[in-house]
Chain A
Amino acid sequence: MKRLLSLLLSVLIVLQPLLAAAQSRVIRLPEAAVVRIKPSYEIRSDKVKTGDTVEFVVVEPVKVDGVTLISEGAIASGVVTKAKHASGFGQNGVLEISIRSVKFPSAR
């Protein structure tokens, strides 16, 4: 009897993490959560024009409750909203980019 109980206990201990993993839960990524990104390539005001799509890479995973919701390396995309070449008499170039979205590679 004692043996049977200890066997059942062992089985439960082994299965517990598996059972927990099988359970699904919902995690909320709140608005205004910080996402750190960097451009996939150098973006120059003389190489892009307004309306161009530019690509960024997530450099730090975004985690909530220990679960990675946005992985490092995920792709974020943005749009060039203003690009003006540098010109003479000290007129520097202007580059404005609006970051629009990030893909969740882990989500189906």
Chain B
Amino acid sequence: MDGNSLPLRANSDKTSAGDNTALSAVGIVFLSVLFVFLQGREAVLKADKEIKVYTNEDRLFTVEGGVPVAATPAVAPAPAPSPAGVPTAVESQVVCERVADTGDPVGAKSTFPLTVPSLATWFQVAPASADRTFMVRWTCDDEVVTTSTVIVRANQPSGGVTITPAEGKTFQPGNWKVEIFRDGQSVSSRGFLVGR
């Protein structure tokens, strides 16, 4: 009988060892699954993803025989005058260091030090029943620095955009201008200085 009990214990031990192995495997699988769940996903722009972009400036093409042969920059047209009594799409705008969560411009001025951490433009519009899209263009010494699209939601009275310099850098010093476009027409602009 003793002979029988020993194999049972041995079997028991073996079973126990097997359970531990199984538990370890489950643990590894669990941790792997947990890791996969916790691991963030990479941002991917797929090759077949179509993107809509907009041209930044007017361009004149000389066409000969139906084929464009030369392209030259054109001077942007003056903003279309508003019919009497009809306000322009953008009633006013300020350039400020940033826009507070409350929507208030912070540090609104026309000269900023080179160390300014960010620049924002904030503009007032008459509320409308539909969303409106504005394009905001920043230039420094007449060179385009960046452009962005601002969507002012229906019934909202204002919109704005904030830009920051590249990491570890400052804004380019010079004569800056922020310009707001709607439907390709410049509706407001404001000049300011950085670092001079």
Report A's interface with B, CB cutoff 8 A.
21-46, 50, 56, 59, 64, 66-69, 76, 81, 84-95, 97-99, 104, 106-108
A85: contacting residue among B42, B49, B51, B64, CB under 8 A: B42
Tell me the B13-61 residues at the A interface (CB within 8 Å). Answer: 35, 38-61
Distance of A106 Cα from B64 Cα, bound (Å)? 11
Contact yes or no, A93 B54, CB < 8 A: no
Report B's interface with A, CB cutoff 8 A.
35, 38-71, 74, 76, 135, 146, 166-167, 181, 183-184
- Name 17 A/B residue pairs within 8 A (Cβ), A-sorted: A26-B60, A27-B63, A29-B60, A32-B183, A35-B55, A36-B53, A39-B46, A41-B47, A42-B45, A45-B42, A86-B40, A88-B39, A89-B40, A92-B43, A95-B43, A98-B146, A99-B51
Going nearest first, the 5 A-B pairs with the smallest beta carbon separation are A86-B40, A95-B43, A21-B65, A32-B184, A93-B43
Q: A35-B55, A38-B50, A67-B68 are in contact. Are A43 and B45 (CB under 8 A)?
A: yes
A107: contacting residue among B46, B61, B74, B166, CB under 8 A: B61
Q: A28-B58, A28-B60 are in contact. Are A37 and B40 (CB under 8 A)?
A: no
Contact yes or no, A69 B38, CB < 8 A: no
Q: A27-B68, A107-B68 are in contact. Are A97 and B53 (CB under 8 A)?
A: no
Residue of A nearest to B182 (CB): A32
Contact yes or no, A34 B38, CB < 8 A: no
Contact yes or no, A87 B40, CB < 8 A: yes
Distance from B62 Cβ to chain A, minimum over Cβ atoms (Å):
6
